[in-house]
Amino acid sequence: MQIEVLESGLAVSIQDLGRIGFYRYGIPMGGAMDRESLKIANLLVGNEETAACFEAPFLGPKLRFKDHRQIAVTGGEVSVKVDSTEFRSWESITVEAGSVVEFGFIESGARLYISVSGGLNVPIVLNSRSTYTVGALGGFKGRMLQVGDLIPLTEAPIQVKEKNRRLPSDFVRNIDDNTDIRVLPGLYWHRLSQESGESFFKDTWTVATEADRMGYRFGGGNKIDFVERKQPFGAGSDPWNIVDSAYPYGSIQIPGGTEPIVLHRDAVSGGGYFQVGAVISSDMDIIGQLQPNKEVNFVKVTMEEALAARKNKNARMDEIRQILL
């Protein structure tokens, strides 16, 4: 039971919801950049939400299926072709044995999630099937897909209740409309001057080309200035340096005060830059779907507002489960 990779696409990897509990060893959580889309892709084909899928930034792979399966594609909008028949994102699609599946260039968003009924049967490493290329572990041989790879599947495909199901359009997130990214100021916010703290939230920022699984860089705003202080021993002369700190998922650092970097799923676990705050967990999926040159605004929120946003996001996911289960 295998899928043959005929064309590798662009930096396509295998991801699930990530590995928890190894951050203290320098192993990041990893997993899908857009967790909600991965969950929905799995629900559409009858998988557990945690099942491993293909994550494809911008351009999906070309795949030949060795047996009968169902697939679903979520995340960005894209055309999906099974042999000569064309389908769209956010619906389950029947694929017969011997069929070839290929994808157009992504029309909106930045990442596709391609689920296969039964799931991708790559080895579990540190409690996850997710690919972490920096550590060469997880996924398929710890790397991105290559032409000729044979991706193993579970032996018995899971059947869905209906042959072809689609997520109602009311629940399809319009990625291009999401321009506000909510931020909770952090422990080092006091290091920014008052003027810079205000401009950080007033300015419009643009996604740079350096936007990948480790982090997203933003430019176009005013330079961030800091409150002068005597650097602590061991921190070096750069005022953005600290002696050392853990880097939470979603945290924002601004080396040199010019370009904020939002750390994402495969970011390092610690280092010597202070973080001005963190993007709230509810908006990290949006970050993972931003294309280069997309303009965004950072919006200041309180802890109470961040928790309310998480509650709302969880409630939305519960509604989707009621529809698709």
Q: pLDDT by residue (tens digit) across 184-213?
A: 999 889 889 999 999 999 999 999 999 999
pTM listed for this prediction: 0.93
Question: Which stretch of 31-35, 237-241, 291-295, 306-310 has the lowest confidence by average pLDDT?
Answer: 237-241
pLDDT score, position 156: 64
- The answer to whether residue 105 scores a pLDDT higher than 80 is yes
pLDDT score, position 229: 75
Which residue is it, tokens 């590995």? Answer: 19
* CATH number for the domain harbouring residue 233: 2.40.100.10
Binned at pLDDT 50, 70 and 90, residue 164 comes out as confident
The whole domain housing 217 covers 178-319
pLDDT score, position 172: 92
- Same domain (yes/no): 225, 292: yes
- The answer to whether residue 177 scores a pLDDT higher than 80 is no
Query: For the segment 302-319, what is each residue's pLDDT rounded down to a tens digit?
Result: 999 999 999 999 999 999
Instruction: Please state the rounded mean pLDDT for residues 271-290.
Output: 92
Q: Which of 129, 152, 172 is the last residue of a domain?
A: 172
- Same domain (yes/no): 128, 263: no
Mean pLDDT of the chain: 91
Q: Which of 152, 172, 192 is the last residue of a domain?
A: 172
- Same domain (yes/no): 107, 231: no
- Same domain (yes/no): 20, 92: yes
Provide the b/e sequence for 123-156 (b: ≥16 CB within 10 Å): eebbebbbbbbbeebbbbebebbeeebebebeee
Residue 96 within a domain: yes
- The answer to whether residue 30 scores a pLDDT higher than 90 is yes
pLDDT score, position 158: 62
